[in-house]
Amino acid sequence: MSFPWLTLALVLPLTGALVLMLLPKSSSARPGESASALPQQVALAFSLLTLALTVGLALRFDPNAEGFQFEEVHTWIEGFGAHYALGLDGIGLTLVLLTAVLTPIVVLASWGDADRGRWSVNSFFAWLLALEGLAIGVFAATDVFLFYVLFEATLLPIYFLIGGFGGARRSYAATKFLVYSLLGGLVMLASVIGLYVESARSSGGPTYLLSELVPIMGDVDTGVGRWLFLGFFVAFAIKAPMFPVHTWLPDAADEATPGTSVMLVSVLDKIGTFGMIRFCLGLFPEASTWATPVVLVLAVVSILYGALVAIGQRSIPRLIAYTSVSHFGFIVLGIFVMNSQGQVGSTLYMFNHGLSTGLLFLVTGFLIARRGSRMIPDFGGVQSVAPLLAGIFLVAGLSSLSLPGLSPFVSEFLVMTGAFVRDWWYAAFAVLGMVLAALYILLMYQRTMTGPVRPAIEGMRDLGRRELAAMAPLVTLIVALGFFPQPLTDVIRPAVADTLSHVGRADPGPTVTGADTEAETGADAETEGAD
């Protein structure tokens, strides 16, 4: 296409961030003064424009077309073989849509959260928009070097959002997040340099374009390919996050504002699982197959470990963070079972997890703001004084445990189907994780929402119109996609088929034992008749 739609989708929120930084600083830190709502209004306007643009891209997207769509390729750093290259397949489009849907919701839900930060309100919403633009660029990048630059750039907005506007231990949480992420980025950088060397050796000149790297990497020495794969996989496992490199997430989620937690867990962490599909499987099919048994074990461990640790948490945001460790285990399991059911379910899980966990973080944030505490024992009887808040909290929790009729159920069902097709024992352990999910969600709801009303809860106000308006789209999408997920699965399935074809995997055909036996019996009868 001649018009740079993806560049516009990337630049729009970045432009909004720049506009916010140029506006007069708005802060309500001084007592007796109210802050102007102009920064929030500007951020909401730019995020809605970006959403409208991405919805337009989705409507123009042809799920039956081969390769990437809306492609833009321009030489960037010729000596490195780096290009400014963007394009979308069904998997990338799904995550770009998720980013664009969540950002205006987070802006609306975080209307007053920035007031308690060390910096201006402008900075808070500018960093939110910057993160949206960079994340869209990551999901659309079709050049490895461009992907790496944007991958690292996304660290800055989240670092400042946590460190500047988080809780009492925000500096510790932000630093721990940054150290883990930079470590993963440095490991990936070694593999990025390795791609430069291998592409220059194989084709006479370096390249980072995916379309040119894929055939080159098919001829790379097996040992080299496996080392390069590990560099990417370690970075993506930290980002995802997977056990045992997940420990930065509970601290970050516990200290960040609810809106920041949504952008961190529902958007930024998806870069890890997206990267596993796009780069680990796309560039290193042999190494991915070689590493699959270990990755599947780590995925199952993540599922069970995250669920078990979540049960014992006293802080609600930490509990949600550990549930996400478990959920990301399901996503990785679906990717590496190497069949269409698992990978379609995994990509759909990324989208649906973003909705359900985003809703859970937001309603929890409203709850904590009213009580002034994030600890589960400080609550009780909330449903008696704030029934709307308790009702949406229940919907978010039931969505997180994948109740049938809500969107995550479809994703989890497909992942489990793919796991059973691959090997029944992976699925058997994953089923235990589903049982534990019901336990930690229902226990959290029982301890916070039911029972006698605690004195500190009396007089708690219910959700206001702005808060309901922020969460209504998430509730609507969770219910709608629970009954009708086909619009997303139709977009995802062709991209998954291309990935599996590249890895050299195909879904096993159906085995009908009765029909086989009948055929053999008929053949025997014909033989006897001939005799």
Q: What does the pLDDT read at residue 205?
A: 81
Q: Return the closest-CA partner of residue 382 out of 459, 457, 292.
A: 457
Find the helix or strand (DSSP H, E) in which 143 lies: none
In the predicted structure, residue 525 carries a pLDDT above the cut 80:
no
Three-state SS for 418-464 is: HHHHHCHHHHHHHHHHHHHHHHHHHHHHHHHHCCCCCCCCCCCCCCC
Q: Is the pLDDT of residue 529 over 80?
A: no
478-494 residue pLDDT tens: 999 999 999 999 999 99
> Dihedrals φ, ψ of 200, to 5°?
-65, -35
Task: Report which of 186, 323, 343, 316 is spatially closest to residue 265, judged by C-alpha positions.
Answer: 323
What is the pLDDT, as a whole number, of residue 517?
46
pLDDT digits (tens, 9 = 90+) for 125-169: 999 999 999 999 999 999 999 999 999 999 999 999 998 888 888
The yes-or-no verdict on residue 7 having pLDDT over 90 is: yes
pLDDT, tens only, 295-349: 999 999 999 999 999 998 989 999 999 999 999 999 999 999 988 889 999 999 9
Residue with tokens 């055929």: 519
Rounded (10°) CA dihedral 279, 96, 273, 443: 180
List the beta bridge partners of residue 405.
Answer: none
Neighbour-count burial for 8-17, b at 16+ CB within 10 Å, e otherwise: ebbbbbbbbb
DSSP string, 476-519: HHHHHHHH--HHHHHHHHHHHHHHHHHHT--PPPP--HHHHHHH
CA atoms of 353 and 333, how far apart (whole Å): 15
| Torsion sign over Cα 432, 437, 440, 443 | negative
d(CA 371, CA 213): 54
Q: What's the pLDDT tens digit per position in 80-119?
A: 889 999 999 999 999 999 999 999 999 999 887 766 556 7
Q: Between the CA of residue 307 and those of 97, 426, 429, 432, what are the distances in Å?
A: 28, 16, 12, 9
- Over range 378-383, report the average pLDDT: 86
Residue type, 471: M
CA pair distance 302, 308, nearest whole angstrom: 10
Q: What angle do CA 60, 62, 64 make, to 5 degrees?
A: 175
Supply the pLDDT for residue 527.
Answer: 46
Whole-number average pLDDT of the chain: 87
Distance CA 328, CA 350 (A): 8
451 has a pLDDT exceeding 70: yes
Question: Poorest-confidence range of 16-30, 138-152, 389-403?
Answer: 16-30
Average pLDDT over residues 53-58: 94
- Residue-wise DSSP of 304-336: HHHHHHHHT-SBHHHHHHHHHHHHHHHHHHHHH
Phi, psi of 314 (to 5 degrees): -100, -25
Phi/psi region, residue 75 (left: phi>0; alpha: psi -120 to 50; beta: rest), is: beta
The more confidently predicted of residues 464 and 477 is: 477
Q: Is 33 helix (H, G, I), strand (E, B) or coil?
A: coil
Three-state SS at 239: helix
For tokens 């078990």, the residue is: 308
Confidence of residue 530 (pLDDT cuts 50, 70, 90): very low
Burial class (CB in 10 A: 0-12, 13-18, 19+), 415: buried
- Residue 521's pLDDT is 47
Query: Residue 26: what pLDDT?
Result: 62
Phi, psi at 73, each rounded to 5°: -135, 120
The C-alpha atoms of residue 49 and residue 102 are separated, in whole angstroms, by 13
pLDDT beyond 60 at 32: no
Write the burial class of residue 126 (CB in 10 Å: 0-12 exposed, 13-18 middle, 19+ buried). Answer: buried
Average pLDDT over residues 218-237: 89
pLDDT category of residue 514 using cuts at 50, 70 and 90: low
pLDDT of 364 over the 90 cut: yes
In whole angstroms, what is the distance from residue 374 CA to residue 314 CA?
Answer: 8
Half-sphere exposure of 28 (CA within 13 A, CB side): 14
Report residue 328 as tokens.
């990301």
Determine the Cα–Cα distance for residues 107 and 128; give it in Å rounded to an integer. 8
Q: What is the pLDDT of residue 426?
A: 87
For residue 29, name the pLDDT band (cuts at 50, 70, 90).
Answer: very low
CB 449 within 8 A of CB 394: yes
The CA distances from residue 320 to 224, 353, 400, in Å, are 39, 12, 9
Both tokens assigned to 478:
């969770």
The pLDDT value recorded for residue 436 is 92
d(CA 401, CA 409): 8
**Model confidence at 504: pLDDT above 50:** yes
Whole-Å CA distances, 529 to 516, 523, 524, 526: 20, 10, 9, 5
The residue ranking higher by pLDDT, 116 or 60, is 60
Q: pLDDT > 90: what percent of the chain?
A: 54
In this prediction, what percent of the chain has a pLDDT beyond 70? 92
Q: Is the pLDDT of residue 447 over 70?
A: yes
The whole-number pLDDT of residue 328 equals 92
Query: Quick one: tokens of 375?
Result: 């600890």
Q: Is residue 416 over pLDDT 70? A: yes
Cα 412 from Cα 352, distance rounded (Å)? 10
- Domain ranges, ordered by start, for the chain: 284-509
